[in-house]
Amino acid sequence: MKMLTISEAAGNLAGWLKLAGAGEEIAIRTDDNLIALRPIPPAGASATLTPREALQSLQQAARLTSAQADDYLNEVHAERISAETRAA
pTM (2 decimals)? 0.48
Q: Confidence band (pLDDT; 50, 70, 90) for 71?
A: confident
Question: Looking at residues 57-79, what average pLDDT do you find?
Answer: 81
pLDDT the model gives residue 47: 65
Fold observed for domain 1-40? YefM-like fold (3.40.1620)
Candidates 75, 56, 76; CA nearest to 66 is 56
Measure the CA–CA gap between 21 and 13, rounded to whole angstroms.
Answer: 12
The answer, yes or no, to whether residue 7 has pLDDT greater than 70, is yes
Domain boundaries defined on the chain: 1-40, 48-88
- For residue range 10-59, list pLDDT tens digits in order: 999 999 999 988 888 899 999 888 899 988 776 766 667 777 777 777 77
